[in-house]
Chains A and B, each alone.
Chain A
Amino acid sequence: MAVKTAILVGVGGQGAILTAKVLVNGLMRAGYDVKMSEVHGMSQRGGSVSTQVRWGEKVYAPLVGPGGADVLVAFEKMEAVRYALFLKPDGVAVINDYEQASATIAAGLAEYPAGCLEAMRDNFRCVVLPAAEIAEGLGSAKCMNIVLFGALAHVLGLDEIDWEQVIRETVPPKFLELNLAAYRAGRAAAEA
């Protein structure tokens, strides 16, 4: 098979790294060669963050440039727009319908752009879900990342992987039930 690439983007602190970890653990169980890259450092201070996961029979580069990703998972909708150029023209975007102002916007130096979702839909196949609302409905905004993972799992269609078992082995036992519910809800939202 050709090497596949997912790029997960968001704002520091949204839990994109844990989502990537669940994905990677499942891919490893299925026997794929896997590489993952993270951007650390300055990005932790409220900046834009990105993580890439690549898998296949043999993976060389740990990351791709613009036009190289099969799937984009955006934890925030303006970040979807920012990283859209990383998608292949036939790539799929999983987008959290969630808005978080950047410091530039909070300081009144710019307006949050209108029409992010529409602009993405005009260009790509998109799966849009209100992951933050779904997570809060399940009892904690913290499981938003696993709600998004559920939607991603649907899009990837790697049905040979038992994702619920992977989540059991990846998240702390204390939050297991919450995260399993989050996974199922995210998957259902994407199927709808």
Chain B
Amino acid sequence: MEKHLLSGNEAIARGAYEAGVQVCSAYPGTPSTEIFESLPQYGAALYCEWAPNEKVATEVAYGASIGGVRSLCAMKHVGLNVAADPLFTAAYNGVRGGFVIVTADDPSMHSSQNEQDNRYYARSAKVALVEPSDSQECIDFMKEAYAISERFDMPVIFRTTTNISHSKSLVRFSEREEHRCEPYVRNQRKFNCAPANAYRNHPKVEQNLRDLAAYGESCPINKLELRGSRVGVITASIAYQYAKEVFPEDTSFLKLGLTNPLPMGLIRDFAAKVEKLYVIEELEGFMEEQIKAAGIPCVGKELVSNLYELNPQRLREMVFGEKPVVKEPAVKAVPRPPVLCPGCPHRGFFYTMSKGRDFVIAGDIGCYTLGGAAPLDALDTCVCMGGGFSIAMGMSKAFAATGEKKKIFGVVGDSTFFHSGMTGAAEILYNKGAVIPVVLDNHITGMTGHQDNPGSGYTLQGEAAAAIRIEDVLRAYGYENVIVVDPQDLAAMQKAVDDALASAVPAAIICRRPCLLIKRIPHEKGLCVVDREKCVGCKKCLKVGCPAVMIREGRSSIDPNQCVGCTLCAQVCPVGAITRKEGK
């Protein structure tokens, strides 16, 4: 049978397709995004969408489960914080069609704000936890996850990490198996979480977990690999792959695919078969804590750090003390941090703000987090999706108490506005915050690689859809002075900031210009060139923080391969030494 090379994310999509899943909803977030980008290829077999946020996505998928089909939602690890509310109650109510929640954790924080270990959500919410260790398991375990969900009447958390989601390995495909459910019959007793029902549901949840634990003792995704009796390793997820490479040939493995609840009988039997037992896991000692609490001696986090992602060399050093042999060249590389792209519409806003030293700017999650990097250096905070507005609000109330005079701006992107910025915008208006909300509207969810959102006018399938106008939303709330500005026009951008600060009525700013990387929008690209005779070498053009602009032999120089002709550098040049040529 033909083999295909699939990333874990692509394989999860394939697994959902093969499992007969019919409704899928997600909000993009690295490293989970490609799961949903690879769902539209299955056409009419399943419905898939980008939801405004992870809570909505989880509710849509759970609603579909109640409606009688198998359903899927997916998110990055911090997305499950947003979606925790429906998760915990869905766990009490149970399901009709199988319901799987994919969480993609990001050890080492390649693209994240923390490295939380979402396995604890499964324990806390009292649901099944399934962890694949490569792409083939992403397909196979998805099918098992749906079977578990239906048999034990609970949502299933399907957890990957960056190196499961983004690594490619060989897989074999199977046919899709359509899933059939009984016709819909209203069941308030089960699906209305009113206190009296919830009270009766809790013991049922505990019984389902006990039944699932019994199933885990012999289920096909918990595997024993018995070799020698000297050393045994209990492991799961990507850590299994590293441990297989690092431990000697004669090591026995108990490789777990169902990690909540843990199969404690299986673990106890395995422990009895080996002289020394290791528990090898990335991030926290999730399994080890429970195994130790059950009175089974083992070694784990004494050796293996709970910080950052593992790899074979790191694991070998931590377990066996063998340092990798490396040679380091005498020359040191200069940092190459990610930056706002040349021509990025966010640059004009952050440049303008960087000049106002009496501003405090509460930022948010997206490309525009890079507005905090030098030389723009124009962010004070960044906490979470939607936090730009509400963190600013709290600071304004603190400043009112302390007498601090600085003006406060809260910044979110267009996708973030629909995700959870709208509630913060309501908060500022309702509770009279001294905050100017700013929406950086580039018509796309940028940082995750260009996904559509309720303001972009297109669906996940690329079909035309309603584009909700952010200014209409803000005006409907009661922002009487909504200033829409092209951030690439620095004079207009400065005026927008001044006007918003001077406004006697509640004001908000929308910086609107589409991301240059959106393929379906025609962009008028050009090229800026420096007249080296006119240039006085003042370096003011460097202050816009564009990677295409640099100083060569004391004069400004623009890299024609990178420049797109946005003219920000030309607008700040005091001697008119930079001009734009049309076309590129």
Chain A: residues with CB nearer than 8 A to chain B? 11-12, 24, 28, 33-48, 59-68, 78-79, 81-82, 84-89, 101-116, 118-120, 122-124, 141
Q: Is the CB of B327 within 8 A of A105?
A: no
Distance A65 CA – B310 CA, assembled complex (angstroms) = 8
Distance A59 CA – B449 CA, assembled complex (angstroms) = 29
Q: Is the CB of B333 within 8 A of A113?
A: yes
Q: Is the CB of A120 within 8 A of B167?
A: no
Query: Which chain B residues lie closer than 8 Å to A36 at the CB level?
Result: 5, 167-169
Query: Which chain B residues lie closer than 8 Å to A45 at the CB level?
Result: 338-341, 367, 370
Does B170 lie at the interface of the complex (its beta carbon under 8 Å from any beta carbon of A)? yes
Q: How far is the CB of B66 from chain A (nearest CB, A)?
A: 34
Contact of A43 among B3, B331, B338, B373 (CB under 8 A): B338
Q: How far is the CB of A1 from chain B (nearest CB, A)?
A: 15
Taking residues whose C-beta sits less than 8 angstroms from the other chain, chain B's interface range is: 35 or more
Q: Is the CB of B331 within 8 A of A119?
A: yes
Q: What are 22 contact pairs spanning A and B, CB under 8 A?
A: A34-B5, A35-B134, A36-B169, A41-B111, A41-B447, A47-B338, A60-B241, A60-B244, A62-B163, A64-B312, A67-B325, A68-B313, A68-B324, A79-B333, A79-B336, A85-B326, A103-B336, A106-B542, A109-B374, A110-B335, A116-B331, A119-B330
Does B221 lie at the interface of the complex (its beta carbon under 8 Å from any beta carbon of A)? no
Q: Is the CB of A33 within 8 A of B167?
A: no
Does B479 lie at the interface of the complex (its beta carbon under 8 Å from any beta carbon of A)? no
Does B204 lie at the interface of the complex (its beta carbon under 8 Å from any beta carbon of A)? no
Q: Is the CB of B166 within 8 A of A24?
A: no
Chain B: residues with CB nearer than 8 A to chain A? 3, 5, 7, 30-31, 110-111, 134, 163, 166-170, 238, 240-242, 244-245, 311-314, 324-341, 367, 370, 373-375, 447-449, 539, 542, 545-551, 559, 561
Distance A114 CA – B329 CA, assembled complex (angstroms) = 12
Q: Is the CB of A78 within 8 A of B333?
A: yes
Given A68-B313, A78-B336, A107-B542, 15 other A-B contacts at CB below 8 A?
A24-B168, A28-B5, A35-B169, A36-B168, A37-B163, A37-B166, A60-B242, A63-B311, A65-B313, A65-B314, A66-B324, A67-B324, A87-B327, A103-B547, A108-B551
Contact of B550 among A38, A43, A78, A108 (CB under 8 A): A108
Query: Which chain A residues lie closer than 8 Å to B447 at the CB level?
Result: 41-42
Given A33-B170, A89-B325, residue A113 in contact with residue B332 (CB < 8 A): yes
Q: Is the CB of A123 within 8 A of B5?
A: no
Q: How far is the CB of B166 from chain A (nearest CB, A)?
A: 5
Contact of B337 among A81, A85, A102, A111 (CB under 8 A): A102
Q: How far is the CB of A5 from chain B (nearest CB, A)?
A: 10
Of all chain A residues, which has the CB nearest B31?
A40
Secondary structure class of chain A's binding surface, majority of residues: mixed
Distance A7 CA – B360 CA, assembled complex (angstroms) = 42
Query: Which chain B residues lie closer than 8 Å to A33 at the CB level?
Result: 170
Distance A46 CA – B562 CA, assembled complex (angstroms) = 10
Of all chain B residues, which has the CB nearest A49?
B336
Distance A39 CA – B547 CA, assembled complex (angstroms) = 21
Q: How far is the CB of B554 from chain A (nearest CB, A)?
A: 11
Distance A23 CA – B173 CA, assembled complex (angstroms) = 23
Of all chain A residues, which has the CB nearest B344?
A45
Query: Which chain B residues lie closer than 8 Å to A38 at the CB level?
Result: 7, 166-168
Q: Is the CB of A46 within 8 A of B336?
A: yes
Contact of A120 among B163, B329, B561 (CB under 8 A): B329
Given A35-B169, A42-B447, A46-B336, residue A63 in contact with residue B163 (CB < 8 A): yes
Given A60-B244, A85-B328, A120-B329, residue A47 in contact with residue B336 (CB < 8 A): yes
Of all chain A residues, which has the CB nearest B30?
A41
Q: How far is the CB of B138 from chain A (nearest CB, A)?
A: 13
Enumerate the 8 nearest inter-chain pairs by beta-carbon distance, A residue then B residue, closest first.
A67-B324, A41-B111, A65-B313, A62-B167, A65-B311, A119-B329, A82-B333, A45-B338
Query: Which chain B residues lie closer than 8 Å to A28 at the CB level?
Result: 3, 5, 170
Given A46-B547, A47-B338, residue A39 in contact with residue B325 (CB < 8 A): no
Q: Is the CB of A39 within 8 A of B110?
A: yes
Query: Which chain A residues lie closer than 8 Å to B238 at the CB level?
Result: 62
Q: Is the CB of A67 within 8 A of B326?
A: yes
Query: Which chain A residues lie closer than 8 Å to B374 at the CB level?
Result: 107, 109
Q: How far is the CB of A78 from chain B (nearest CB, A)?
A: 5
Query: Which chain A residues lie closer than 8 Å to B375 at the CB level?
Result: 107
Query: Which chain B residues lie closer than 8 Å to A120 at the CB level?
Result: 329
Q: How far is the CB of A138 from chain B (nearest CB, A)?
A: 17
Query: Which chain B residues lie closer than 8 Å to A41 at the CB level?
Result: 30-31, 110-111, 447-448
Contact of A62 among B30, B111, B241, B326 (CB under 8 A): B241
